[in-house]
Homo-oligomer: A and B are copies of this chain.
Amino acid sequence: MEFSQDCRQCPHGLCIHRVPLFSSLSRENLLHIAGLIQHKGYDKGQRLISEGQEMGALYIINAGRAKAFRYTPEGREQILYLFSPGDFFGEQYLFSDHSAAYHVEALTPVLVCFLQKAHLQNLLLAEPQVAVKLVAELGKRIARLENTFQSIGIRSVDARIATLLLDFSDQFGEPTAQGIIIKLPVSREGMANYLGVARETLSRKLRKLERANLIRSLDTKTLLLLDRPSLASLAGLF
């Protein structure tokens, strides 16, 4: 785990460049903010934040992946988000003193930039455009949550799995000659927890999709998507 005082020595250039939030800022403003940003590295499996903890900053994923999750009363892990570089979280707590409502854990080694609450608050008041951008980003996130919400409301587990595969294909997929290759960010168990079904059920369903030639499992963490249209119709039409 390492720190660096600000973002100007960012290993990947100014990390805030990666954040759509700040895209409207001038170069000098960017540099100023960059000076306020702190870094921290986390190993795979480490907690970035824990449920119940104070959230004093906005977290921006600079490199790596992380998952946000809670435990259900039965003790199962329910995954809420998968974060990739450029994603941020903690914005809910900017203007409320609630504590974090979920755990965030590194799925791979992760590098985060964080911006203290107070600094961001000042920034929003001084630069309305950033606030407007933030509102827009939050709107997007709400829309995504609403979609997920609905897709869970769908009775059929098959449809939910198809939806998840399509989402993954958009987020993590790479088109090739044979089909879209998806590097899964989580294990089967993780996917099951994301969907809210039992591991075993997910296994069976995936096998069924494989037998129907819609997908092929290359290895545990790699999937080949063969028939996107059929998946789409599963997700949406039945």
Contacts and interface: CB of A to CB of B under 8 A. Distances in A.
Contacts of A196: 152-155
**Chain A interface mostly helix, strand, loop or mixed?**
helix
A237 interface: yes
Contact of A152 (B98, B140, B153): B153
Interface stretch (A11-19, A67-75, A182-190, A212-220): A67-75
A153 B78 contact: yes
Interface residues of A, number: 51
A126 B153 CA distance: 40
Nearest to A144: B145
B124 A131 contact: yes
Contact of A98 (B92, B143, B155, B237): B143
Given A72-B154, A73-B238, A78-B153, 17 more contacts: A70-B150, A72-B150, A72-B153, A73-B159, A73-B236, A73-B237, A80-B146, A91-B135, A95-B136, A95-B139, A98-B143, A101-B143, A134-B135, A141-B142, A152-B152, A152-B153, A153-B196
4 closest pairs, A vs B, by CB?
Answer: A131-B131, A153-B196, A92-B139, A95-B136
